[in-house]
């Protein structure tokens, strides 16, 4: 078995190999660009607890600072993309649909988990994960060719983009609330402290970035800010991802430097995500009952999103937009990196165990596959004489 | 305004630390806070240092001192311990850079000067410093009443520590100043060679001192085992350098992360088998650079690109770890040690360089590259304190105080030397 440092080295190399694999596969265009994530997790599983056991069993504890840093980084990325000007430019009905449909999926999945006797913490993580959808995957499909039904693709992408905010809010607020605490005043102080921290660091980052032009210095500053956020938020027991997202949204909306921060943040996103995937795979312990429970949860989320899709179709119809694709809600099935981050976050805080996290990951893969099949269908379907109208 | 926000951030951290009842102890979180504080503050401190025409690393050091446990206490001793891995990592990267900067062709041209100055430091400075301190040690009462043997031992150990320097600081200033030329090549060569010599010398002298004052260590066996360690370290480093070179020339993807992984790997190998991490990395850099020159260009660029943020944290940590209280306790002895060392390094380097017919910049400015002291000297001082319980603690106190001063003035002098010799902003 490898020691912590060597495990980290191996993780680093696997992350590099995974990031390259991802890039090569994505050159393949429309052919299932999300498949590589599954392969990466399988590599991790092969080397980890379920396979050769090369990593230490307490991997999450050994690499906790690194994991915290990675999760907070993803929180910052989410925040950096939260542009209020863009949000205001969206029509109100689209905004509300974008918040309500994922909230419905989260509520249904969380309630089903609670009913199945899964603990409050794990149910909360599950509800947050169920709310998240991947707008990026849709972007990949949209870039790879003109879809038969562009309106559906665009609207679904918008809803997916909006879903990350309520998911992160639910996760952040929920984990802070259910964390062991001495009482209300302390909880209130922690919440206020976390918000103050995010505001101070958000503005500090804007001021610091103003004079930095070299990418390496921008990256160094961001790493520093993320480390400080991760550490300070953990110390006062508020969710670091949410704190970082608030700081990121301040940078995105209070300065003209968001693009520079975003560029630097994206520069290490691919290896970081791959590292998280390998970590998840290595940590996973196969457990049949957990897999079965997650299968049921896939069904619950699928049904609620199918219903949500019809809500979107109805709302669009009332505003003069015709969505011709069948079952538009299926486009919201793929989850994306934030869901993985929430899952790992749950693992670090101890809300979910290795068996449940593994089952949940399989659920994410199934959702991803169904979503991609649906997108292929929408891309290549010839839906009648007016198919080209929206192109 | 930028400083206002740094002060705000520091105030938030101070609040977190000041409310122990509110904040649960979490070492990982605390270390992350310290890391973030050093990175953010270091960037600002480096900028201010640049405006004051002193090296950026001086800014990082001062910031570390201010935030460290001996002044404001925003970084605790536990944080320093938790971030030790990062310190090792940075030291490995710096050693890899040093090795990568050494080219056989250049060394061949100036090997006489490199070996000559290293030998003169190892013999001349050691003997002169030991002699001077043997004569004056009795005027420092805090060392207690020493027997003649203890006096000789203390003088010998001060002599050896006087020769030690900080390779990391020298290399960091060279990188920052983008310097290149005869002076840089000579000082780099001496830096690498001296690092090996100091380790062997210290083990030998320490063994001798133990013998004089009735300890149990045998000087001979210590040196033999250290020579084996040095040899094995160089061998392991060469093997690692070969692997790195092959990877860089055949694959070449993500050089920054590859370099990071190589350093982590060497750290693990060194710790696992008792080898010298610094030597392993130096040998790896040297091998990769000289056996795979084409691929090494990308590798050196990768090191250069990734070095500024690493220096920020590394020198911040060194600054935070410097025991400032020591300086107040033994300032007279510290100043004597600093002045004597400055004079000896200046004199011995200049005389040797002239005798060997070195170029004018080497004769006039090379000594300034040997003033800074940090990790190695502190490590030697800690060993003195640990292994010589009688007077070792007091001696280590003086050495640590001198290291504080040398680490402040060393980078400033070396930066001045690079500018004065015309080698700044010419290479790399």
Kindly report, residue by residue over B359-412, the tens digit of the pLDDT.
Answer: 999 999 999 999 988 766 776 777 666 666 666 777 777 787 888 888 889 999
Q: Per the structure block, which two tokens stand in for B203?
A: 């083990």
Residue B13 lies in a domain: yes
Nearest to B285 by CA among B307, B263, B253: B263
Residue that the structure tokens 């992360």 belong to: B257
| Stronger pLDDT, B266 or A151, i.e. the higher one | B266
Same domain for B117 and B214, yes or no, is yes
Residue B427 lies in a domain: no
Contact B324, B65 (CB under 8 A): yes
Question: How much is the pLDDT for B418?
Answer: 94
Residue B228: give its domain's CATH number. Answer: 1.20.1530.20
3-state SS class at A243: helix
Strand spans (E) along A287-370: none
Same domain for B58 and B151, yes or no, is no
Domain end, chosen from B61, B83, B105, is at B83
Same domain for B141 and B275, yes or no, is yes
In chain B, the number of structural domains is: 2
CB contact under 8 A, A186 and B22: yes
- Closest partner CB to A231 (pick from B30, B265, B306): B30
Share of chain B above pLDDT 70, in %: 86
Residue B249 lies in a domain: yes
How many helices (DSSP H) and strands (DSSP E) are in chain B?
Answer: 19, 0
Among the residue ranges A324-333, A353-362, A380-389, B292-301, the one predicted with the least confidence is A380-389
* Mean predicted confidence (pLDDT) in B44-60: 84
Provide DSSP, B29-62. Answer: HHHHHHHHHHHHHHHHHHHHHHHTTS-HHHHHHH
Domain end, chosen from B83, B112, B134, is at B83
Residues of B in contact with A219 (CB under 8 A): 309
Same domain for B159 and B93, yes or no, is yes
pLDDT band at B355 (very low <50, low <70, confident <90, very high): very high
CA B346 from centroid of its chain's CA atoms: 19
CB contact under 8 A, B39 and A204: no
Residues of B in contact with A221 (CB under 8 A): 39-40, 43
Q: b/e per residue, B295-333, with b = 16+ CB within 10 A?
A: bbeebbebbebbbbbbbbbbbbbbbbbbbbebbeebeeb
Using CA atoms, how far apart are residues B58 and B64, in angstroms rounded to an integer?
10
Kindly report, residue by residue over A30-74, the tens digit of the pLDDT.
Answer: 445 456 666 677 777 777 777 777 777 676 677 778 888 888 988
Same domain for B47 and B195, yes or no, is no
Among the residue ranges A12-16, A157-161, B106-110, the one predicted with the least confidence is A12-16
Find which of A73, A190, A204 to mutate to test the B interface (most B CBs within 10 Å of its CB).
A204
The answer, yes or no, to whether residue A2 has pLDDT greater than 70, is no
Using CA atoms, how far apart are residues A201 and A268, in angstroms rounded to an integer?
21
Q: b/e per residue, A198-214, with b = 16+ CB within 10 A?
A: bbbbbbbbbbbbeebee
| Stronger pLDDT, B367 or B46, i.e. the higher one | B367
Same domain for B42 and B164, yes or no, is no
Q: How many CB atoms lie within 10 A of CB A269?
A: 15
Residue B368 lies in a domain: yes
Q: Which domain holds residue B159?
A: 89-420
Using CA atoms, how far apart are residues B129 and B135, in angstroms rounded to an integer?
10
N residues, chain A: 391
Using CA atoms, how far apart are residues A62 and A56, in angstroms rounded to an integer?
8
Task: Provide the mean pLDDT of chain A.
Answer: 78
CA atoms within 13 A on the CB side of A264: 23
Q: How many CB atoms lie within 10 A of CB A117?
A: 8
Using CA atoms, how far apart are residues A140 and A159, in angstroms rounded to an integer?
16
Q: Per the structure block, which two tokens stand in for A155?
A: 């609207």
Same domain for B244 and B371, yes or no, is yes
DSSP class of residue A321? -
The verdict on ipTM greater than 0.95 is: no
Using CA atoms, how far apart are residues B57 and A68, in angstroms rounded to an integer?
28
Kindly report the nearest CA distance between residue A71 and chain B, in angstroms.
Answer: 13
* Mean predicted confidence (pLDDT) in A378-383: 58
Same domain for B30 and B155, yes or no, is no
Residues of A in contact with B31 (CB under 8 A): 65, 231
Rounded alpha-carbon distances, angstroms, from residue A263 to A23, A214, A258, B303, B417: 17, 12, 8, 21, 38
Same domain for B216 and B363, yes or no, is yes
Q: Per the structure block, which two tokens stand in for B269?
A: 């190998």
Same domain for B60 and B98, yes or no, is no
- Which residue of chain B is at minimal alpha-carbon distance from A222? B40
Residue B164 lies in a domain: yes
Rounded alpha-carbon distances, angstroms, from residue B41 to A219, A244, A316, B5, B11: 14, 19, 51, 10, 13
Domain end, chosen from B83, B104, B123, is at B83
DSSP class of residue B24? P
Share of chain A above pLDDT 70, in %: 79
Query: Backbone dihedral region of B75: left (phi > 0), alpha (psi from -120 to 50 degrees) or beta?
Result: beta
Residue B426 lies in a domain: no
Q: Which residues of B touch A (CB under 8 A)?
A: 1-2, 5-6, 8-9, 12-13, 16, 22-24, 26, 28-40, 43-44, 47, 85, 253-254, 257-258, 260-261, 264-265, 267-268, 305-306, 308-309, 312
Spatial CB neighbours of A170, under 8 Å, sequence gap ≥ 6 = A106, A124, A127, A128, A131
The CA-based dihedral angle spanning residues B420, B425, B427, B428, taken in that order and rounded to the nearest 10 degrees: 140
Per-domain residue ranges for chain A? 4-61+85-180+269-380
Kindly report, residue by residue over B228-281, the tens digit of the pLDDT.
Answer: 878 888 899 999 999 888 888 887 766 777 777 788 888 888 878 878 788 888
Kindly report the nearest CA distance between residue B41 and chain A, in angstroms.
Answer: 9
Question: How much is the pLDDT for A384?
Answer: 44
The CA-based dihedral angle spanning residues A20, A22, A26, A30, taken in that order and rounded to the nearest 10 degrees: 160
3-state SS class at A320: coil
Residues of B in contact with A12 (CB under 8 A): 257, 260-261, 264
* Mean predicted confidence (pLDDT) in A356-369: 81
Residue B319 lies in a domain: yes
Residue B425 lies in a domain: no
CA atoms within 13 A on the CB side of A50: 20
Residues of A in contact with B8 (CB under 8 A): 200, 204
- Closest partner CB to B264 (pick from A9, A236, A271): A9
Burial of residue B274 (number of CB atoms within 10 Å: 0-12, 13-18, 19+): exposed
Same domain for B143 and B213, yes or no, is yes
Same domain for B123 and B158, yes or no, is yes
pLDDT band at B347 (very low <50, low <70, confident <90, very high): very high
């Amino acid at each position: 078995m490898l020691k912590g440092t060597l495990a980290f080295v191996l993780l680093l190399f696997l992350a590099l190999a995974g990031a390259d694999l991802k890039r090569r596969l994505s050159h393949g265009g429309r052919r299932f660009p999300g498949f590589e994530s599954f392969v990466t997790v399988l590599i991790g599983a092969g080397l980890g607890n379920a396979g050769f056991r090369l990593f230490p069993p307490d991997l999450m504890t050994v690499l906790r600072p690194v994991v915290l840093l990675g999760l907070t980084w993803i929180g910052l990325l989410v925040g950096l993309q939260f542009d209020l000007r863009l949000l205001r430019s969206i029509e109100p009905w689209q905004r509300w649909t974008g918040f309500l449909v994922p909230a419905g999926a989260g509520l249904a999945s969380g309630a089903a988990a609670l009913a199945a006797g899964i603990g409050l913490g794990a149910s909360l993580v599950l509800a947050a994960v169920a709310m998240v959808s991947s707008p990026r995957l849709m972007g990949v499909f949209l870039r790879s060719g003109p879809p038969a039904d562009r309106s559906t693709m665009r609207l679904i992408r918008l809803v997916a983009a909006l879903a990350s905010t309520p998911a992160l809010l639910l996760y952040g607020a929920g984990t802070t609330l259910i964390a062991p605490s001495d009482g209300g005043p302390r909880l209130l102080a922690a919440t206020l402290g976390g918000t103050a921290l995010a505001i101070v660091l958000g503005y500090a980052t804007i001021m610091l970035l103003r004079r930095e032009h070299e990418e390496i210095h921008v990256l160094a500053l961001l790493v520093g800010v993320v480390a400080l956020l991760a550490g300070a938020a953990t110390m006062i027991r508020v969710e670091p991802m949410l704190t970082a997202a608030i700081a990121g949204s301040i940078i995105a909306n209070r300065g003209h430097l968001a693009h520079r921060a975003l560029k630097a943040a994206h520069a290490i996103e691919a290896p970081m995500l791959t590292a998280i995937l390998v970590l998840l795979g290595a940590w996973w312990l196969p457990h049949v009952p957990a897999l079965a429970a997650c299968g049921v949860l896939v069904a619950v989320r699928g049904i609620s999103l199918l219903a949500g899709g019809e809500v979107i179709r109805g709302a669009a119809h009332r505003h003069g937009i015709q969505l011709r694709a069948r079952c538009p809600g299926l486009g919201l099935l793929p989850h994306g990196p934030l869901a993985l981050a929430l899952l790992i976050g749950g693992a670090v805080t101890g809300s979910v165990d290795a068996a449940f996290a593994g089952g949940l990951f399989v659920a994410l893969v199934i959702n991803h596959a169904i979503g991609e099949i649906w997108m292929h269908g929408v891309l290549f379907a010839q839906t009648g004489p007016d198919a080209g109208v929206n192109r | 305004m930028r400083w206002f926000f740094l002060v705000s951030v520091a105030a938030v951290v101070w609040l977190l630390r000041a409310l122990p009842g509110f904040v649960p102890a979490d070492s990982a979180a605390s270390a992350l806070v310290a890391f973030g504080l050093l990175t953010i503050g270091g960037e600002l401190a480096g900028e201010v240092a640049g405006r004051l025409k002193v090296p950026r690393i001086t800014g990082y050091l001062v910031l570390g001192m201010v935030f460290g446990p001996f002044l404001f206490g925003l970084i605790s001793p536990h944080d320093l311990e938790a971030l030790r891995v990062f310190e090792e990592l940075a030291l490995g990267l710096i050693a890899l850079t040093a090795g990568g900067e050494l080219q056989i062709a250049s060394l061949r041209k100036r090997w006489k000067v490199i070996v000559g100055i290293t030998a003169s430091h190892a013999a001349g400075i050691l003997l002169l410093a030991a002699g001077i301190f043997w004569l004056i040690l009795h005027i420092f009462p805090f060392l207690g009443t020493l027997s003649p043997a203890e006096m000789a031992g203390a003088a010998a150990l001060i002599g050896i520590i006087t020769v030690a320097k900080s390779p990391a600081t020298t290399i960091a200033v060279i990188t920052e100043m983008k310097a290149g030329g005869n002076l840089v090549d000579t000082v780099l060569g001496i830096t690498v060679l001296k690092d090996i010599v100091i380790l062997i010398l210290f083990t030998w002298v320490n063994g001798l001192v133990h013998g004089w004052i009735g300890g149990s260590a045998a000087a001979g066996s210590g040196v033999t085992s250290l020579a084996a360690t040095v040899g094995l370290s160089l061998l392991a480093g060469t093997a690692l350098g070969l692997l790195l070179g092959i990877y860089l020339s055949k694959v070449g993807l993500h050089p920054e992360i590859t370099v990071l992984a190589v350093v982590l790997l060497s750290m693990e190998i060194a710790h696992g088998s008792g080898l010298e991490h610094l030597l392993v990395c130096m040998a790896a850099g040297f091998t990769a650079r000289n056996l795979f020159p084409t691929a090494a260009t990308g590798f050196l660029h990768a090191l250069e690109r990734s070095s500024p943020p690493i220096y920020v944290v590394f020198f911040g940590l060194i600054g935070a770890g410097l025991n400032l209280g020591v300086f107040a306790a033994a300032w007279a002895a510290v100043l004597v040690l600093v002045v004597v060392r400055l004079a000896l390094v200046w004199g011995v380097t200049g005389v040797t360089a002239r005798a060997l017919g070195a170029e004018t910049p080497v004769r006039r400015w090379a000594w300034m590259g040997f003033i800074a002291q940090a990790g190695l000297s502190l490590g030697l001082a800690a060993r003195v304190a640990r292994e010589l319980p009688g007077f070792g603690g007091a001696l280590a106190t003086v050495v640590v105080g001198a290291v504080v001063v040398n680490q402040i003035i060393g980078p400033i002098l070396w930066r001045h030397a690079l500018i004065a010799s015309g080698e700044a902003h010419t290479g790399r």
